[in-house]
Each structure stands twice: as structure tokens, then as C-alpha cells.
Amino acid sequence: MKYNHIGQCCICGKTCQLTKEHVPPHKAFNNFKSQGLTGDNFINALQNKKYKIKLNQSGSYDYTLCAECNNHTGKWYAEDYVNFIRSVHSFCNDMPENATFLTLEADNIRMGNIVKEIFAMFASSLQYNRVSDLGIDKYLLEKENFKIDTSKFKLYCYMNFDYMIEKTGVISAFKTDGSVITFASLKTYPLGFVLNLNPKISDKAWEQMLDLEDVIKAENNLIEKIALNIPIINNYQPAFNTKKLIEDIRNKSTNSN
Ligand SMILES: [Zn+2]
């Protein structure tokens, strides 16, 4: 039986046959179980209603890109990302047991490509409208373009030792002060990422993470020398964090009645 995956490509916006893409790339330790909890299912889970978890037994993949965008991002950016992830993994072996962060030092690293691959991974969670609003489409479709307007988002990164891949769609949640955080989370081994889509509103959980703004603002692919201090965050659960926020607001409204 042939399955058809007709839809809108998350990077170029074309409506066509979509192709299978691994997020993260298969060679970047994407051969474990993964779970996806998005949209209504996420909200239902928080409210103890029925929800569906999309569980992939053999890694995490989706059908969100046209063949051309899938090939381009795979060919242009994925290899540098895979090498980066594998070197982070090898650094992990030499880490003291009670370490709170990992210092990653590298020479002549194509950091621009690595960041672009992170955005390519997020594209499927964001959908095309938001991708184009943020300028991620142009940024990814032009191979040598490393410029992107950083005023509309913040990208954070942290060390994660949990093998279970967790992707969320775009989530908005109220904080107790009434402000709204909007973000997407991509928890992969050994690095997890959060894309904050309302950068004026921060959150304690993200302040502990490494902000990649300087790397993005370098607007250059090759970086001669880099030292990244990447915090280790065990059991980071965006869902848990958000649940807490929603409970807070629920308690607040009960108290005021
Ligand atoms: Zn496309």
C-alpha cells in the first residue's frame, strides 16, 4: 500500500508530496524511541483528559518537507550537525560525575551550518507560516546566507542525557503574572533545544540554558575558535514546567472567586 503525504512544505511553503525526514538526523542518535505530544493532545494531557502520544519505536521522523528542501537541508547542513553531536557525545565520556556544565572547545567549526540544522529541525514544529514570518525559509533555502533577524526569537541549548526524543509543537502558556510564553521544545540526546518565540518574555527554565544568540549573530559559517559552556539539565520537562504555570493560574483564579 502506498501512502500519500500531500501537504504544505514547512520550509518553502509549496503544497506537494512530502517526504520522510528524520528529526534529528538519523546519525545524530536518532534510533531510539521518541514521543510527540502536540497541540490539543498537549493541552488535554495537562487537564487530565484523554490524549494521544505519537510514539515512534525506531527513532523520530515526520513528513513535513518537500523532496527538494529535504535534500538540500540534508546535504548542506545535516553532516556538520551530526559531527558536532558526535563530538559532544565523546566529550560526555570525559566529564566528571558531578559536573553541572560541559565546556566544548572547538577549532574551525562550521557553526553556521550547525545552527541552520537546528532551525531545520524546528521548522516541522513551527509550520510554514511561522517559518516564513521568522525569515527561517530564506535563511535555510540560501545555502551561503547566515543572516537572520534575532529580534523575533531566542534559541537555547542544554545538555540532556535522556535518550527519549521529545518534540513539542508551538506551545503558549500563561505565567502567573499574566504574561504569555510561547515556545517549541526539541529534547534530543545529548543536546536539547528550546526556541522561545516571545523573546521579551523569559522563563526561569530557559535562563539556565545557553543562549545561542552570539553564535547566530556572528553571521558566519566558519568559526575559528569557540568555547561553549553548555549547562547540564537533567529531567528537563517543558510539559511539567508548563503544567506548573497552568496550575498557578488556575489556583489564582480560584482564590479570587
Ligand atoms: Zn520545500
- For the chain, helix, strand, coil in percent to 5 are 35, 30, 35
Sign of CA dihedral 27, 31, 33, 39: positive
Dist. CA 107 → ligand 1 center (Å): 33
**What residues sit around ligand 1, an ion, with C-beta below 5 angstroms?**
9, 11-12, 66, 69
pTM: 0.85
Say how far apart CA 218 and CA 103 lie, in whole Å.
20
Give the pLDDT of residue 94: 79
Task: Compute the half-sphere exposure of residue 35: CA atoms within 13 Å on the CB side of its CA.
Answer: 11
Q: Rounded to 5 degrees, what are φ and ψ at 181?
A: -100, 140
Give the pLDDT of residue 180: 86
Phi-psi region for residue 11, left (φ > 0), alpha (ψ -120 to 50) or beta? Answer: alpha
Q: What is the mean pLDDT of residues 93-99?
A: 83
Q: What is the mean pLDDT of residues 146-163?
A: 93
Confidence tier at 256 by pLDDT (50, 70, 90): very low
Mean predicted lDDT score pLDDT of the chain = 84
CB-based burial of residue 174 (10 Å sphere; 0-12 exposed, 13-18 middle, 19+ buried)? middle
Confidence tier at 181 by pLDDT (50, 70, 90): confident
Which of the pair, 19 or 53, is modelled with greater confidence?
19
Q: Where are the domains of the chain?
A: 6-47+59-255
Dist. CA 66 → ligand 1 center (Å): 4
CB-based burial of residue 35 (10 Å sphere; 0-12 exposed, 13-18 middle, 19+ buried)? middle
Dist. CA 161 → ligand 1 center (Å): 32
Confidence tier at 235 by pLDDT (50, 70, 90): low
Whether the predicted pLDDT of 81 surpasses 60: yes
Angle at 43 between CA 42 and CA 46, to 5 degrees: 90
Name every residue whose Cβ is closer than 8 Å to that of residue 242 and which is 6 or more positions away in sequence: 46, 171, 173
Give the pLDDT of residue 49: 63
Give the pLDDT of residue 213: 96
Confidence tier at 38 by pLDDT (50, 70, 90): low
Q: What is the mean pLDDT of residues 199-226?
A: 92
Report yes or no: 76 and 116 within 8 Å, Cβ to Cβ.
yes
Whether the predicted pLDDT of 42 surpasses 90: no
Dist. CA 182 → ligand 1 center (Å): 25
Dist. CA 44 → ligand 1 center (Å): 31
Calculate what percentage of the chain has a pLDDT beyond 70. Answer: 79
